[in-house]
Structure formats: structure tokens, C-alpha cells
Amino acid sequence: MTTTTAAKPAATREAFGTSLEEVGKEFSHVVVLDADLSKSTMSMKFGKSFPDRFFEMGIQEANMIGTAAGLALGGKVPFCCSFACFLTGRFDQIKMSVAYSGANVRLIGTHAGVGIGPDGYSQQGLEDLALMRSLPTMAVLQPADDVETAQMIRALVTHQGPAYVRLTRQKLPRVHDEKYRFELGKLDVLREHGTDALLLGTGGTVGFAVEAAEKLAKEGLRLTVGNVHSIKPLDVSTLTALARKCGRVITVEDHNVLGGMGGAVAEALSETHPVPVKRLGIQDVFGESGEPEDLYRLHKLDTEGIIESVRQFVKR
């Protein structure tokens, strides 16, 4: 994987742990809950610095989510952490106690997608975006690198309304420099090689999308590359303008193609400016054990897979 800056690749969960501790220093109403995964979600950094504001909930995700809702209704800003699959697996608690109660909970789902690797399907959140997108008022976010993660976490201290943030276990190359400013609800245009197609990534696939576009540019296929950090609210106006310019869209995500970022893009464009949309992702099949690189290759989410799919799609 290429890096666009000299910085070392970092897992977004690591950046999360660091920035959570930072905002904890500044904002005394930030509290954190974890369900026996604080060493993995990296929330333990906060826990060590602020033990009074850190709630170890044991292996009780449903209770953790409800408790976070109560803390939010009591004026706190709770960051509620677990693996993406276990957290959003408690959908009813998120629906009732968080969303429908207007509780300002930040649900932090780490280890999302097949990118988690050998642990297999039971630990791979592959439907979390679809679930969270279906809840009114829920912001659904996924940062592409450590720079964006830090800014996103900071923005969520003051954001009004519940939010879901999807983080990765695997390290991701930096696609943003220090001048980058995250803006919730905006499409982040990363590269403008040209208007042959619009290529959209989110989270773990963004770095590969950037690299694929660079290689394709050398072949004469010039793409615009976007990072969809805000899957909801989706930046429909920028998306529509880019679709109009480029004429076709390829989405790539480590999530079921049903109901994820690609689904959101296709739904929006079908109403504003219908163009052909190719959705790369997990093609409505279960995940499985394997090395992350092998799984990305299998599902055509890596640079080569994206290049091959883009070539076929653009040729049509």
C-alpha cells in the first residue's frame, strides 16, 4: 500500500485512542464505556487517564448502550466502544435507548469489515453501516486515516445527535496531510486526475482507491477519487455534481454492498442524476477467516482488484 505522506500507516482505532484521551483532557463531560475490549478498541488510554469517567461494562453490550444513553440524557457525551459487529448487533438498544431517546451517544465500532482477518465472520462487522443508516438522526461516519480520525472524534464532542463511527483494526496509509480539515457531511475529494469516472472509497479502501487511480492515470484512464467519510448525512449535492461531470461511479467498501456506502450513493444518484454505479464490496456473502490482504484480494477491494473492476466497468 502506498502512503501519500511520509507518515507511518496507523490503524484508525489507534488514532481514536489517542484523540479520545486528548478530548478527555479538554472536556470533562466526555465519558467512555467499553465492554471488555478496551485493549483492542484503544479506549483504555482514556480509562487510565480518567478512571472516574471510564465505565468498564464487562461483556454486556446491550446494557452498555443503554447506560451510555442514560449518561447522555444526563448531559454527558459518552463514547461507547466495542467491535463494530457486537455494538451494532444490539440494534434494538441503539434504536430505542439511543436514537429514539435523542441520546447524544457516540457509538465507536472498531475492527470493522473483513480487514480484521483471521477471526472470521463472527467478528467482522459487514452489515453495521446498513443497520445504522436506517435509524433517523444517526450520523454514520468512517475515517480514512489517523488524521481524519482525530478530527472526527473532536468534532463529535460538540455534534448534536447520535453518531456511529466505524474504525479498522488494520493499519491504513495516510491520505490527508496536516492541513486537512474534516467537515461532517461533506464529500472529501482526494484526487482529480480527470472525469472518466468517479471512484469513491470509505475507511479501509480509500488508500487502495487512491493508489488504483494513480496507476490508472498512467494508462490514460483519469478518475476523480472521493473519500466518503460521511455515509450519513451524505453530501448529495457534491456527489451529484461529480456524477454529472464523470458520468459513472465506482464505489468500494469493506462492507456488504447492500445498504452500505455504495447503496447510499446509488440511492441518492438514482433520484438526482442517474448514472451507472458499480458497487465493489462484499457481494452479499458471509466473511471468512484469512489474512486481511488475502481477503481484500478475494473481494477485489485492493489496488489490483479495483483497477480490474474499473477497467471492465469503464469499457462497457
Partner 1 sequence: MTVVDLDITKRTPASLQLPPTDQPGPRGIPNGTLARLADEFRLDIVEMITRAGSGHPGGSFSAVNIITTLLFDEMRHRPREPRWADRDRLVLSKGHAVPALYAPLARLGYFPREELWTLRKLGSRLQGHPANMLCPGIEASTGSLGQGLSVAQGMALAAKLDGKDGTPRYRVYCILGDGESQEGQVWETAMSAPRHKVTNLTVFVDCNQGQIDGLVKDVMDLEPFVDKWKSFNWNVLTIDGHDFDQIKRALAAARAETGKPTVVIARTHKGVGARIFEKDIVGWHGKSPSRQEADEAIRDILGRLS
Instruction: Check residue 60 for interaction with partner 1 (CB under 8 A).
Output: yes
Choosing from 21, 61, 148, 253, the catalytic residue is 61
Instruction: Check residue 57 for interaction with partner 1 (CB under 8 A).
Output: yes
**CB of 35 or CB of 295, closer to partner 1:** 35
Q: H or E segment at 197? A: strand 197-201
- Count interface residues toward partner 1 (CB under 8 A): 31
Q: Is 231 helix (H, G, I), strand (E, B) or coil?
A: strand
**CB of 97 or CB of 110, closer to partner 1:** 97
Contact residue for partner 1 among 95, 159, 273, 297 (CB under 8 A): 95
- Please list every residue from 15 through 44 that binds partner 1, using CB under 8 A: 31
Among 256, 1, 236, 243, smallest CA distance to 114 is for 256
Q: Enumerate the β-bridge partners of residue 200.
A: 226, 251
Q: How far apart are CA 43 and CA 112, in angstroms?
A: 16
Answer whether 235's CB lies under 8 Å from 186's CB. Answer: yes
The three cell numbers of residue 237 are 449535492
Distant-in-sequence, close-in-space partners of 180: CB < 8 Å, separation ≥ 6: 147, 148, 151
Q: How far apart are CA 151 and CA 251, in angstroms?
A: 24
**CB of 73 or CB of 189, closer to partner 1:** 73
Instruction: Check residue 97 for interaction with partner 1 (CB under 8 A).
Output: yes
What are phi and psi for residue 35, nearest 5 degrees? Answer: -115, 70
Asked if 61 is an active-site residue, the reply is: yes
Q: How far apart are CA 43 and CA 304, in angstroms?
A: 34
Q: Is 75 helix (H, G, I), strand (E, B) or coil?
A: coil
The three cell numbers of residue 133 are 443508516
Residue 233's identity, in one-letter code, is: P
Contact residue for partner 1 among 58, 118, 183, 270 (CB under 8 A): 58
The three cell numbers of residue 48 are 487510565
Name the one range near partner 1 by CB under 8 A: 37-45, 94-102, 182-190, 266-274: 94-102
Instruction: Check residue 68 for interaction with partner 1 (CB under 8 A).
Output: yes
Contact residue for partner 1 among 1, 7, 23, 96 (CB under 8 A): 96
In terms of DSSP bridges, do strands 106-110 and 54-56 run parallel, antiparallel, or are they unpaired? unpaired
What is the contact mask toward partner 1 in residues 169 to 208, using x (rule: CB under 8 A)? ----------------------------------------
Instruction: Check residue 62 for interaction with partner 1 (CB under 8 A).
Output: yes
What are phi and psi for residue 313, nearest 5 degrees? Answer: -70, -40
Q: How far is the CB of 136 from partner 1 (least distance, A)?
A: 10
- Please list every residue from 239 through 298 that binds partner 1, using CB under 8 A: none
**CB of 100 or CB of 313, closer to partner 1:** 100
Instruction: Check residue 118 for interaction with partner 1 (CB under 8 A).
Output: no
Q: How far apart are CA 39 and CA 276, in angstroms?
A: 43
Q: How far is the CB of 39 from partner 1 (least distance, A)?
A: 19
Contact residue for partner 1 among 69, 246, 269, 310 (CB under 8 A): 69
Known catalytic residues are: 61
Contact set with partner 1 (CB under 8 A): 31, 52-53, 55, 57-58, 60, 62-76, 78, 92-93, 95-97, 100-102
